[in-house]
Amino acid sequence: MDDMMKRLFDDLDTSLSVIEARFTGGMDSPVLPDDLTDQLGNSVSNDEAGSESGNDQTGDVSGKISALNDRFRQNQSTADDEIKGRWILGDDIEELPGPTKAAIKKKVREYADFEEFPLHDRGTFEYRSKDKSFPIIWMIKAYEDETLAKEVEHPEDPAQSYRVLLLDLSDETGEED
């Protein structure tokens, strides 16, 4: 499962950067590798990533996405009922003692350092227990449904999206204090 999680995080990092660029204007014209374009189901073409229609710089679409991501991450409901989705914990997190795992999940729910990530779709932090330090990484990705087969074209619409939060330790290992 660790290799699968690392692959998912690598794929998520690349595709989330493209999606983020589409909704925030972070990139003028991102060029995607052919295999990633195929994997994304052409939901973001190179032409539309920098266009005004797909890039709402007023914050309307990106604001909706970040608010939905926050509510999902914090386990809150929306006016349209609950946001559909699930959390997937990596093996390294699953193996931690229950109280440590619960404390890490609580820190993810309370996470607020989104200066670099205006869609509130990912974060990293260091969790410290009594004798160890755990480098944590998490990401949210929106799919069409629970099969996770295709990214959703309108992540700002909770009725059309199924969110997944992946939570794991980053490549660094915990250190003894």
Whether the pTM exceeds 0.75: the reply is no
* H/E stretch holding 92: helix 91-94
> Average pLDDT of each block of 10 consecutive residues along the chain (177 residues)?
56 50 42 37 32 44 94 78 88 94 96 94 93 93 95 93 95 51
Name residues whose C-beta falls within 8 Å of residue 95's C-beta, 6 or more positions apart in sequence: none
In this predicted structure, what is the pLDDT of residue 82?
73
CA separation for the pair 168, 91 (Å, rounded)? 8
| Residue pair 140/123 in contact by the 8 Å Cβ criterion | no
42 pairs with which residues across the strands?
none
Ordered DSSP codes for 125-142: EEEE-SSEEEEEEEEEEE
In this predicted structure, what is the pLDDT of residue 171?
79
In this predicted structure, what is the pLDDT of residue 146?
93
